[in-house]
Amino acid sequence: MNLGILINTDKHVKDIVGLTKAAASKKHEVVLFMMDNGVKLLHNPSITALHKIPGVSMSFCQYSADVLKVSTKKIAKGIAAGSQFNNAEMVKSADKVIVL
């Protein structure tokens, strides 16, 4: 199964981490996309560390980061700066999408 997690708030950190780790432990692929206030989590180590888990990919909306003045200079190379196209790709490829 391919699980998409759309993160559009800076809340629910424990839920995001728990869902991602649980799905990955079952060998499901997980795609995380951050937009709107969700990009504020780019500075939360427990969130950004998720991209290191096998089967997990992560991207964020650069436009949201720019509008909210969230610095992306120190973001790990494995986390892709993108656009709503990344969101659309996630939704298209996911079997299920969770919005947090």
| pLDDT single digits (tens) 20-31 | 999 999 999 999
Burial of 69 (0-12, 13-18, 19+ CB in 10 A): exposed
Between CA 65 and CA 88 the distance in angstroms is 18
Q: What is the pTM of this model?
A: 0.95
**pLDDT tens across 45-68, in order?**
999 999 999 999 999 999 999 999
Pick one of 3.40.50.300, 3.40.1260.10, 3.40.190.10, 3.30.9.10 as the CATH number of 2-99. Answer: 3.40.1260.10
